[in-house]
Structure 1
Amino acid sequence: MDRQLLFMPPNDHLSTGSFITLCVLFLTSAVLVALGLRRRSRSGGRGQQSSSSRRGLSVQVTDRAVAHRALVQHSAAFLDRPTGAVPSTILTRSRHHNIHSAPYGPYWRAVRRNVSAVALHPSRLRLLRGARARVLGDLVRELRAGSGAAPASETLHFAVYHVLAEMCFGRDVVAEVIGEARLRAMHGFQREILLALPSFGVLLKYPMVLGKLLYPSRWKQLVALRRHQEETFLPLVAEVARKRRRKVDDSDDLLFKSYVESLLDVRVHEEDGDSRAVTDGELVSLISEFLGTGTESTATALEWTMARLIKHPEVQQKLRDEVDSIIASSPGAGGGGVVQEEDLPRMPYLRAVVLESLRRHPPVPFVLRHVEGGHEDDDAARVLGVPRLPDHGGGATVNFRVGKINRDPAAWSDPDAFKPERFMPGGEAETVDLTCTRELRMMPFGAGRRVCPGIATAMLHLEYLVANLVREFEWKEPHGEEEVDLTESRGFFMTVMKRPLRAKVVPRNAAQ
């Protein structure tokens, strides 16, 4: 009888009630199906289990000794990241991973080895010195053309993005195929994605099927952003492949291999013995990560460093004195050249300024790991100092709080102050190790086996740009409401300035 009522030609009131009943039944069925799929995924493997960690135990780590034991000394127990922490894994259904989100395994090892040993190898970085010089020239001209309080944040970010784009696609593709206008549009789209990411966080709270039903507009936006990435990057990959085939044996271009070229050579050796190439979906994710994370982390650190130099004019002047001394002593510079990359190792105060900025304002505020529970020999639980990790609910998510670790009063005197001198010879942090292999006192690039592979690249770009920006300009405080504000604001995965940097940049006297 009840089933017949649903299909009778009822009055208006009964029709409304029937519609509500159908909606309730539909949503209930969706929840049950989603939960069933969720339970099934927990038994499917390491990658799927990590996505369920948001309902498991959450551990916050602020002790640097515990962080060193976990990430370095017992790294085997802390190799996986919670894939659900990256919104793009919802859209790609955890299949098209980048290096950051990939579970530990054959794919991660292959793409991680490629970016470390090929794309970011020091020998290849040296071949890009021309690109860095061109971008520096463009950056200086753009800042000189500004008047009053220049929007330094956007200018600095685009300069870093330009360098990363040439590393990713090669100079010819950037100059001949993309062009400056399209490159700026690509950078703008990248920033649009970063600004939109926090709004997608709600999708992480529910299984994918239910998330699509509850937040259809946000799901459509996420799908549209991903489609735009594919439509942008895949034709550029095809262009890189075509140019690669046309290279001649005696071409200088053969000496340089772009990141995309290196990805086309990657072979993933699966555990079953099969070998495969990187898929189109994985290519899009890896390129987006290289351009997005590589740009935002370095550019954010550059922005913080210049802001600190504005707020501490005595530090800026001391750094400028070192820069001028190096320029004057460089053969053939005549006192009017730029700081060359080979000069950087002779500038200890420059490195101290960059390190202190990274300590005080690490771009990435946390490092996340996923660990499984329920083991008899629970190494992770012992390291974290908890009795035992749960064997249900997806294990545990461990959040290593980078900012708090970097400002641990037990490791640093006056930890909240900005004191580059602490990194100078004889200072308390003279021998600090950015890889954290020996000791963990600060970890702006993470630590252990999953430490950021771009440490050397980021430090080179930061030191080169900071030195030459101080050489070319005096960086001063804007007046009025545009005064530099050092208040931190937490983005989705970056610690940015609450108000983007604007600065009064005054070109220095050419005779200096």
Structure 2
Amino acid sequence: MFLQLGSIPTLVICSADSAKEIFKTHDVVFSGRPVLYAAKKFSYNCASVSFAPYGEYWREIRKIMILELLSAKRVKTFQAVRDEEVAVLLQIVARNSSVNLSELALSFSNNIICRVAFGKKFENGNTRFLEMLHETQGLLGGFCMADFFPWLGWLNKLNGLEMRLEKCFRELDNFYDKVIEEHLDPKRPKAEHEDVVDVLLQVQRDPSQAITINNDQIKGVLTDIFIAGSDTTATALVWIMADLIKNPSVMKRAQEEVREVSKGKGKVLERDLSKLNYLKLVIKEGLRLHPPAPLLVPRETTQSCIIEGCQVPPKTRVFVNAKVIGRDPKYWEDPNEFRPERFLDSSVDFKGQNYFELLPFGAGRRGCPGINFGVVLIELALANLLCRFDWQLPHGVKREDLDMEEAFGLTMHKKIPLCLDATIVDL
């Protein structure tokens, strides 16, 4: 669809064929980012990887993020953190027969992101930390008149948006300042592993780097990790568990697999994940039906081009509807059914390189660089939740009554939190 939203020409991509043309044939043209009102503020004037304009700075900061922070080698160094936090998650569930899985999943993923990024959890202030995350997400995903009529930005002073934005940004900025100050303190106790702030400060001091990064640019990268990392992982876990509850035969098959692999150990270890073939299909299917960000981060064309015979002007804002593409009956049989077996004889993956009918992490140059980090976290947490517990809905709630409504926002949360009863299984 080609729309005129205010003064902004807008293209909405709803098919895998169009997505392939954009991400493969014209990827450079579609690698720009629009300057959005809230995103500009939270990304420190578009200094983050997600919102930086396409160009030399973006290439260098993305290279730093991938090589120094999100490479397979770096992700592996955080294995102990993942193991410890999964163990904490399982202990909490074991102590409470009834759990709010939506709340637990967010706390779990947030604790891991905090330890990986900042070197520690913020347990005493965890409630405020989650509130700050929620507020930031709401501002980034909410409606802003200035994003469609740039000359009406002054209205944000009257409607309270600018005040909300400034207050949330200042709180986040003060938090980052304290974290950086702690890391620069020579008396700081030696950490078990380098965290993201340690690495970024080393890069800042390295004269051989192609670009020099300042503290605001470091904060921009931290915002990417903070916003994109915790919320999306938690959302994916909750939707997959909800789908499994509604499909007990799939749940049973997945549990049989993880319990067979974990036999004699009592839990699923990270090295076991490569053996969990069916669980990987379950996760693929969950991400197909419920991509955490149903509208991928918007893009902007850097020049004019032709897509499927239509002229697309420069500075066109582009939304890719990953959710609609993932349920397109042209590519998926019974697209609204949760059926992991559809991937058994399929080479379709979600890496966004050769297949464009499944795009939970985006594709092309501006695809999500954190895919390796996110997937292993989802796999490890889900495998252990299924291994250690039998799950069912609270007494009196039927599977067909489970509410699957989605909440509006940047990340597609389940509107009604997922509350389940868990029973410990002797292994």
TM-score, length of structure 1 as denominator length: 0.76
1:115 aligned partner: 65
After TM superposition, list the pairs within 5 Å mapping 1:395-414 onto structure 2. Answer: 395-414=315-334
Residue identity matched to 1:355: K
- Tell me if structure 2 keeps the 8 A contact 1:167–1:259: yes
Residue identity matched to 1:457: F
Q: Give the secondary structure class of the aligned counterpart of 1:81.
A: coil
- Tell me if structure 1 keeps the 8 A contact 2:23–2:364: yes
1:89 aligned partner: 40
Residue identity matched to 2:245: I
After superposition, the C-alpha distances for 1:289-327 in whole angstroms (9 at most, x for unaligned) are 201211111111011011111111111110111011111
1:59 aligned partner: 11
Say which structure is richer in helix.
1
1:214 aligned partner: 158
After superposition, the C-alpha distances for 1:244-264 in whole angstroms (9 at most, x for unaligned) are 9875xxxx84xx432112222
Residue identity matched to 1:79: S
CA distance in 2, matches of 1:347, 1:362: 21
After superposition, the C-alpha distances for 1:325-360 in whole angstroms (9 at most, x for unaligned) are 1112xxxxx2x5210111111110010000100011
CA distance in 2, matches of 1:460, 1:53: 38
CA distance in 2, matches of 1:199, 1:366: 13
User: Do residues 321 (structure 1) and 256 (structure 2) align?
Assistant: yes
2:54 aligned partner: 104
Residue identity matched to 2:9: L
Q: CA 1:409–1:289 in structure 2 vs 1: closer, same or farther (change >3 Å)?
A: same
2:357 aligned partner: 441
After superposition, the C-alpha distances for 1:172-203 in whole angstroms (9 at most, x for unaligned) are xx1xxx64213443233212322454556245
- Tell me if structure 2 keeps the 8 A contact 1:371–1:396: yes
Q: Give the secondary structure class of the aligned counterpart of 2:312.
A: coil
Higher relative contact order (CA 8 A, sep 6+): 2
User: Do residues 464 (structure 1) and 380 (structure 2) align?
Assistant: yes
- Tell me if structure 2 keeps the 8 A contact 1:237–1:260: yes
1:126 aligned partner: 76
The alpha-carbon deviation at position 154 of structure 1 amounts to 0.8
Q: Give the secondary structure class of the aligned counterpart of 2:423.
A: strand
The alpha-carbon deviation at position 485 of structure 1 amounts to 1.4
Q: Give the secondary structure class of the aligned counterpart of 1:60.
A: strand
1:490 aligned partner: 408
Q: CA 1:267–1:433 in structure 2 vs 1: closer, same or farther (change >3 Å)?
A: farther
CA distance in 1, matches of 2:396, 2:227: 33
- Tell me if structure 2 keeps the 8 A contact 1:106–1:268: no
Q: Which of the two has higher C-alpha Rg? A: 1
Among residues 278, 292, 295, which one is paired with 1:366 in the alignment? 295
The alpha-carbon deviation at position 454 of structure 1 amounts to 1.1
After superposition, the C-alpha distances for 1:49-93 in whole angstroms (9 at most, x for unaligned) are xxx996232111112112112112321111112121x6131577x
CA distance in 1, matches of 2:272, 2:381: 13
The alpha-carbon deviation at position 462 of structure 1 amounts to 0.7
Q: Give the secondary structure class of the aligned counterpart of 1:440.
A: coil
Among residues 191, 194, 199, which one is paired with 1:262 in the alignment? 199
- Tell me if structure 2 keeps the 8 A contact 1:309–1:475: no
After TM superposition, list the pairs within 5 Å mapping 1:407-426 onto structure 2. Answer: 407-424=327-344
1:163 aligned partner: 112
CA distance in 2, matches of 1:61, 1:186: 35
User: Do residues 344 (structure 1) and 273 (structure 2) align?
Assistant: yes
Residue identity matched to 2:221: L
Q: Give the secondary structure class of the aligned counterpart of 2:125.
A: helix
User: Do residues 77 (structure 1) and 29 (structure 2) align?
Assistant: yes
1:241 aligned partner: 184
The alpha-carbon deviation at position 96 of structure 1 amounts to 4.6
Q: Give the secondary structure class of the aligned counterpart of 2:413.
A: strand
1:383 aligned partner: 307
Q: CA 1:91–1:111 in structure 2 vs 1: closer, same or farther (change >3 Å)?
A: closer
Q: CA 1:207–1:264 in structure 2 vs 1: closer, same or farther (change >3 Å)?
A: farther
Identity of aligned residues (%): 27
Q: CA 1:326–1:62 in structure 2 vs 1: closer, same or farther (change >3 Å)?
A: same
Residue identity matched to 1:211: L
Runs of 5+ unmatched residues, structure 2: none
- Tell me if structure 1 keeps the 8 A contact 2:38–2:139: no
CA distance in 1, matches of 2:322, 2:383: 26
CA distance in 1, matches of 2:274, 2:369: 20
Q: CA 1:257–1:107 in structure 2 vs 1: closer, same or farther (change >3 Å)?
A: farther
- Tell me if structure 1 keeps the 8 A contact 2:146–2:153: no
Residue identity matched to 1:221: R
1:14 aligned partner: none
Q: CA 1:469–1:300 in structure 2 vs 1: closer, same or farther (change >3 Å)?
A: same
CA distance in 2, matches of 1:257, 1:91: 25
Q: Give the secondary structure class of the aligned counterpart of 1:408.
A: coil
CA distance in 2, matches of 1:203, 1:53: 11
1:505 aligned partner: 422
How large is the Cα RMSD of the aligned pairs? 2.7
